[in-house]
C-alpha cells in the first residue's frame, strides 16, 4: 500500500477519494526537524504540503522513497521544484483551486477599506457607547467602488478572478502582466447567462499611475516591485491590496506612503516577515489585516484536496 503524508492537512473530500483508491493517508503534522526521519521510518511515497512545510534539497536527498511532492495551492516557493524534478520526483500543485477565494478576500479588504471597516471595527468596541456621533462623523466619507479603476498587477488565474468581481460591480480594469498581452474573460451569472470580455493588458507604469486601487497577484519575487518610486507615481489616496506574497511591496516605503496620505489604506494578507509581521504594520490604523488566509475557504480546500487526489491517482495508477 502506498503511504501518503499530508503534513499541512488536506480536506476530507481529498482524504476520502485517496482512501477509496486504496492509499494509506496520514494527516499527522510532523515538525520540520523531524520530517526526514518520519518519512523514512514510515516509507512515505507521497508528501503533501501547503505553505507551512518546506521541502529543500536535503530532505529530497535523504528521503529516497518519495515519488510525488504535492503543494495544495499555487506558489511553490517552499519547495525546491527543479531539484526534485531532476531526481525523477513528480511535483504537483493546484493552481486553479483557490483563485476565487483569494479574489473574494481582495474585495473584502477593498470594501472594508473604502468604508473604514478596519478602523470602525477597532474603535466601536472601545468608543461606540460614549462617542457614537463622533465615530459616525469620522467614518462618513466612504467612497463607492463602482466606476472606479482597479489596477491588477499579475493577470494570471487569480488576477483574472479579481477582474471578474470588479467587472461585476461596475469597475474599470487596468491590468499588467509580463507574459499576457490580452485575454478573454467569461463572467458567469447565476441564471445561466454570461458575458464575454476581451481585456488588453497595459504597461506597468500606466497601471501604477492611473488606478484608484491596486491589487497584486504576482509570485514571490527576489526584490520588491512596489517601492517609493512606484508610490510616488500613484494617485493621491490610492488603496493597495497584497494577497499575493510577502516581499512584493517594500513595507517601509508603504508605511511612509500611508503616513503621508499618498496611500489611503492598505489591505494585507501576506507579509515580508511571516509569521511575525512588522509591528508598525499591525498597529497602523490605515491597514486592514488578515493572517495569510487568501485560499482558506471551505470550498477552496475541498477543491484543493480533490485536485491533489486526482493527480496522485493519475500518476500512480
**Residues classed as catalytic:** 245, 274, 292
Residue 227 C-alpha cell reads as: 517601492
Cα separation, 294 vs 50, in Å, equals: 13
Cα separation, 230 vs 204, in Å, equals: 10
Residues 6+ apart with CB under 8 A from 237: 261, 262, 263, 264
Burial class (CB in 10 A: 0-12, 13-18, 19+), 310: middle
Whole-number Cα distances in Å, 211 to 9, 40, 82, 119, 235:
38, 52, 37, 23, 7
What H or E segment, with its residue span, contains residue 224? none
Cα separation, 79 vs 51, in Å, equals: 9
Helices 99-114 and 157-168 cross at an angle (nearest 10°) of: 50
Chain-centroid distance of CA 1 in Å reads 35
The answer to whether the CB of 11 falls within 8 A of the CB of 302 is yes
Q: How many CB atoms lie within 10 A of CB 261?
A: 10
What are the E-state strand segments in 74-179?
90-93, 149-153, 172-176
Cα(first)–Cα(last) distance of the chain, in Å? 12
Cα separation, 52 vs 68, in Å, equals: 18
Residues 6+ apart with CB under 8 A from 131: none
Cα separation, 240 vs 279, in Å, equals: 19
Amino acid at each position: 500500500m502506498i503511504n501518503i503524508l499530508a503534513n499541512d492537512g488536506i480536506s476530507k473530500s481529498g482524504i476520502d477519494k485517496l482512501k477509496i483508491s486504496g492509499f494509506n493517508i496520514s494527516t499527522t503534522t510532523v515538525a520540520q526537524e523531524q520530517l526526514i526521519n518520519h518519512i523514512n521510518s514510515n516509507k512515505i511515497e507521497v508528501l503533501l504540503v501547503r505553505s507551512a512545510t518546506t521541502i529543500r534539497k536535503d530532505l529530497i536527498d535523504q528521503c529516497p522513497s518519495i515519488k510525488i511532492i504535492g503543494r495544495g495551492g499555487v506558489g511553490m516557493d517552499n519547495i525546491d521544484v527543479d531539484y526534485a524534478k531532476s531526481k525523477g520526483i513528480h511535483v504537483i500543485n493546484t493552481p486553479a483551486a483557490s483563485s476565487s477565494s483569494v479574489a473574494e478576500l481582495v474585495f473584502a479588504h477593498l470594501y472594508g477599506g473604502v468604508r473604514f471597516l478596519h478602523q470602525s471595527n477597532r474603535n466601536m468596541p472601545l468608543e461606540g457607547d460614549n462617542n457614537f456621533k463622533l465615530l459616525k462623523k469620522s467614518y462618513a466619507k466612504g467612497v463607492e467602488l463602482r466606476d472606479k479603476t482597479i489596477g491588477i498587477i499579475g493577470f494570471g488565474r487569480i488576477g483574472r478572478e479579481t477582474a471578474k468581481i470588479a467587472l461585476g460591480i461596475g469597475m474599470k480594469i487596468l491590468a499588467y502582466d509580463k507574459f499576457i498581452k490580452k485575454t478573454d474573460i467569461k463572467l458567469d451569472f447565476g441564471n445561466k447567462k454570461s458575458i464575454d470580455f476581451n481585456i488588453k493588458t497595459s504597461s506597468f507604469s500606466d497601471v501604477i499611475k492611473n488606478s484608484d486601487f491596486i491589487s497584486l497577484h504576482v509570485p514571490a519575487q527576489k526584490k520588491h516591485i512596489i517601492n517609493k518610486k512606484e508610490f510616488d507615481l500613484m494617485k493621491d489616496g490610492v488603496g493597495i491590496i497584497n494577497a499575493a506574497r510577502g516581499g512584493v511591496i517594500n513595507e517601509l516605503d508603504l508605511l511612509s506612503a500611508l503616513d503621508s496620505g499618498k496611500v489611503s489604506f492598505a489591505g494585507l494578507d501576506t507579509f515580508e516577515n511571516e509569521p511575525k509581521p512588522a509591528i508598525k504594520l499591525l498597529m497602523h490604523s490605515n491597514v486592514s489585516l488578515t493572517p495569510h488566509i487568501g485560499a482558506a475557504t471551505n470550498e477552496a480546500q475541498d477543491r484543493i484536496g480533490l485536485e491533489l487526489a486526482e493527480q496522485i491517482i493519475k500518476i500512480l495508477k
